[in-house]
Structure 1
Amino acid sequence: MLSRKLVAEAVGTSLLLVGVVGSGIMAEMLSPTDEGLQLFQNAAATAAVLFAIILMFGPVSGAHFNPAVTLADWALGGFPRRHIAPYIAAQVAGAVAGTVLANLMFDLDAVDWSTKDRSAGHLWLGEVIATAGLVALIFALVRTDRIRFVAGAVAAYIGGAYYFTSSTSFANPAVTAGRMFSDTFAGIEPSSAPMFIVMQIVGLVVAVVLIRFVYPRTNQQDSPSPNLSSWR
């Protein structure tokens, strides 16, 4: 049932942003003078939350929580086009709600537009790499019938990508939109967000081309495409 899937996507994305933004706020409180330690705390919490919510909602909605993943699933033949817009709407709404909840949990204004400037070419390149790697990882596992490893692999990748990408790996248009609403460690200034999202779409295209080449489908006329809803 589509409504059940949309609730799973909205709640899952909301919990993801609660984890990202909330842990960033807590990190600033616990380690106010150590940005390296703040980043570690934020990365560790985000990876742990991702692992948990993918396990929680994977069997229901495929645990996309990311418009780039939804679009890739469609582009690779595993997701119906008519569900794209509802999924993305649920993800963006969940991301904004999660950020607002994180703000309120720490006694901040519900909406506090970020002033953290992230406009620079090297950061945009970081988002291309982060998104391409994430999407390619997910669908490499899907196309090789290893979907049971997605939760751990995605958590590990994002935890690592916080450090090996210059942008700290947003890799998600919905997350990018949500993080505009908090002027804290994890925030992004609204004027910086559009180019981050453009670069994430570029990374998505790179990943889809790579997956189609490296893991081509066989017997396309007879076999359905593997997809993220094939949890077991």
Structure 2
Amino acid sequence: MTRRLAAEFLGSMLLAALVIGSGIAAQRLSPGDVGLQLLENAAATAAGLYALILIFGPVSGAHFNPVVSLVDAAFGGVSWRDALTYVPAQVIGCITGAVLANVMFSAPAVSISTTERATVAHGVSEVVATIGLLLVIFSLARSGRADRAPAAVGAYIGAAYFFTSSTSFANPAITIGRMFSDTFAGITPASVLPFIGAQLVGGVLAVALLRLLYPDVTAGQAADVVLPHPAELKGRP
């Protein structure tokens, strides 16, 4: 469990640093062109997420996201106890990653965001974005194609930056983390709870859809996320 929590903390930290850092870089490299800034931010996030899943997947399953952990527990991939233990590591990791990104770009280590995002359109977008992310992850896991998940998750998140008005946070931990950076990728504290609420609603709806579409797990496959469940690695060199 220590190794798995370390993986979730480090992966979440690097994910937040990736999202926020690339947002700061995009803002500075392409001033005045929000479309290009978003494209740069999305491309970096998609590619970096693919790499992070490959790095940490064999250790913890590479959740980096409380909703993913809770849905994985609902399908029996991890125990509820383990899923709930993952959540603080993910949240603390994302906050640490936000601070790290700020420091890397010579900004104040902590700056509370002033970017308002709590609108009906953003809420609907977060429900849709979260459902889509979970469908990508668990449809592959439940149909014996989990090895394709790192690329698929990166591709989906990159696309969701553009087809959702919220730019697809789809993750309560990184939503909290992004509150601590008043930069391109930030979110004001007042918008955090509505976003998390929408993400949890998306998680519940995704479970229902997955049970409908994939009622049976392919023989020999775990219900876990992107790579073999950590328990399957015991005894390997």
TM-score (norm 1): 0.95
1:77 aligned counterpart, secondary structure: coil
Q: Could you tell me how far 1:86 is from its partner in structure 2?
A: 1.6
Residue in structure 2 matching 1:227, options 220, 224, 227: 224
CA distance in 2, matches of 1:218, 1:191: 40
User: Percent identity over the alignment?
Assistant: 54
Equivalent residue pairs, number = 229
| Residues 53 and 143 of structure 1, relative CA distance in 2, 3 Å threshold | same
1:34 aligned partner, one-letter code = D
| Residues 90 and 137 of structure 1, relative CA distance in 2, 3 Å threshold | same
Partner of 2:63: 64
Q: Could you tell me how far 1:226 is from its partner in structure 2?
A: 2.5
Provide structure 2 residue ranges, at least 5 long, that are not aligned to the other structure.
none
1:47 aligns with 2:46: yes
Moved over 2 A (4+): 222-226
How does 1:110-121 map onto structure 2 within 5 Å? Answer: 110-121=109-120
| Residues 131 and 218 of structure 1, relative CA distance in 2, 3 Å threshold | closer
How does 1:23-172 map onto structure 2 within 5 Å? Answer: 23-172=22-171
1:207 aligned partner, one-letter code = A
CA distance in 1, matches of 2:43, 2:222: 33
CA distance in 2, matches of 1:26, 1:169: 19
| Residues 53 and 224 of structure 1, relative CA distance in 2, 3 Å threshold | closer
For each residue in 1:176-216, what CA deviation from the matched residue of structure 2 results, as whole angstroms up to 9, or x when unmatched?
00000000000000010100000000001111100011101
RMSD between aligned residues: 1.6
Q: Could you tell me how far 1:77 is from its partner in structure 2?
A: 1.6
- Do the aligned residues in 1 keep the contact of 2:143 with 2:217 (CA within 8 Å)? no
2:186 aligned counterpart, secondary structure: coil
| Residues 112 and 83 of structure 1, relative CA distance in 2, 3 Å threshold | same
How does 1:170-185 map onto structure 2 within 5 Å? Answer: 170-185=169-184
Q: Could you tell me how far 1:23 is from its partner in structure 2?
A: 0.4
| Residues 39 and 223 of structure 1, relative CA distance in 2, 3 Å threshold | closer
1:30 aligned partner, one-letter code = L
CA distance in 1, matches of 2:166, 2:18: 18
Provide structure 1 residue ranges, at least 5 long, that are not aligned to the other structure.
none
CA distance in 2, matches of 1:18, 1:212: 34
